[in-house]
């Protein structure tokens, strides 16, 4: 008979050699406080683009769904704007003012949503996730 525990230990050892494995609980706890720097292109009045820095944080599944729910309540907002309101921070780590998020150019909002999806573990470009994202965003 095969010793299951021995096989599990060997498999875990093999995995550990190839890649570093983290404790899921620690990652979840740390993820709530994570601030990830991003650089985006912002259009200036003269039509040129300038680089701007900000911070984002991963969003939870509940937050992502809440953004969808808020945008469906005829509040004059969109899912993308609500996602950015939740996940965008200043370079100093303070939440970006919601009234300024609402004034961001549409293309910039979409770029920030792409980054939020990436750090939140959502691959917007896989067929399966694209369908899920579209369903969540009510497309």
pLDDT of residue 70: 73
Buried b / exposed e over 34-45, threshold 16 CB at 10 Å, is: eeeebebeeeee
Quick check: is 84 in a domain? yes
* Spatial CB neighbours of 78, under 8 Å, sequence gap ≥ 6: 71, 109
Q: pTM for the full model?
A: 0.70
Is 135 a residue whose pLDDT tops 80? Answer: no
Is 114 a residue whose pLDDT tops 90? Answer: yes
Domain count, the chain: 1
Please check whether residue 100 is in contact with residue 81, taking contact to mean a CB–CB distance below 8 angstroms: no
Quick check: is 11 in a domain? no
pLDDT of residue 61: 87
Tokens 């406080």 locate to 33
pLDDT of residue 65: 87
Give the residue-averaged pLDDT of 93-113: 94
pLDDT of residue 31: 67
Is 117 a residue whose pLDDT tops 80? Answer: yes
Average pLDDT, the chain: 81
Quick check: is 55 in a domain? yes
- Residue 97 is part of which domain span? 34-136
Query: From CA 117, how far away is CA 57, in angstroms rounded?
Result: 10
Quick check: is 40 in a domain? yes
Is 104 a residue whose pLDDT tops 70? Answer: yes
pLDDT tier for residue 99 given thresholds of 50, 70 and 90: very high
Please check whether residue 122 is in contact with residue 137, taking contact to mean a CB–CB distance below 8 angstroms: no
Quick check: is 21 in a domain? no
Which 3 state secondary structure label does DSSP give 14?
helix
Quick check: is 4 in a domain? no
* Residue 97: both structure tokens together: 């003012």
Least confident range of 6-15, 41-50, 111-120? 6-15
Please check whether residue 108 is in contact with residue 80, taking contact to mean a CB–CB distance below 8 angstroms: no
- Kindly report, residue by residue over 49-84, the tens digit of the pLDDT: 999 999 999 998 899 888 878 767 767 788 899 999
Is 20 a residue whose pLDDT tops 70? Answer: no
């Amino acid at each position: 008979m095969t010793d299951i525990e021995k096989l599990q230990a060997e498999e875990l050892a093999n995995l550990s050699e190839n890649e570093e494995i983290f404790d899921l609980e620690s990652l979840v706890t740390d993820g709530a406080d994570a601030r990830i720097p991003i650089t985006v292109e912002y259009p200036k009045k003269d039509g040129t683009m300038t680089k701007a820095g900000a911070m984002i944080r991963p969003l939870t599944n509940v937050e992502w769904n809440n953004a969808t729910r808020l945008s469906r309540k005829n509040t004059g907002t969109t899912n993308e704007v609500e996602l950015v309101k939740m996940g965008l921070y200043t370079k100093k780590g303070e939440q970006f003012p919601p009234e300024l998020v609402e004034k961001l150019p549409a293309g910039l909002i979409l770029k920030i949503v792409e980054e939020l999806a990436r750090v939140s573990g959502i691959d917007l470009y896989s067929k399966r996730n694209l369908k899920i994202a579209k369903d969540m965003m009510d497309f």
